[in-house]
Amino acid sequence: MQQLKFILGIALLLLLVIFTAQNTEMVTINFFFWKLSSARALLVFFILAVGIVVGLIVGTWLATHKKH
């Protein structure tokens, strides 16, 4: 089981490296008065991280309030 986790971790790391290498071009995001320029891969990872955090917060809130 430990070896399977290691192999999956290496495979995900390899996919991450390939994704990052293919998405290095700069993109600009405009949001109201903010302007952000960054590599496309970094923006995708940032948006993914924000989505995970929001999902964890909402899921925890729902789980704690559903018990009542």
Average pLDDT over residues 42-65: 88
The whole-number pLDDT of residue 54 equals 94
Instruction: State pLDDT tens for residues 14-49.
Output: 988 888 888 889 999 898 988 988 888 888 888 888
Structure tokens at 41: 């891969």
**Residue that wins the pLDDT comparison between 13 and 57:** 57
Q: How far apart are CA 47 and CA 50, in angstroms?
A: 5
Strand partners, 67: none
First to last CA, the chain: 39
pLDDT of residue 10: 92
Q: What is the mean pLDDT of residues 59-67?
A: 84
Count of C-beta atoms within a 10 Å radius of residue 44? 15
CA-based nearest residue to 28, from 43, 45, 6, 46: 43
pTM of the model: 0.61
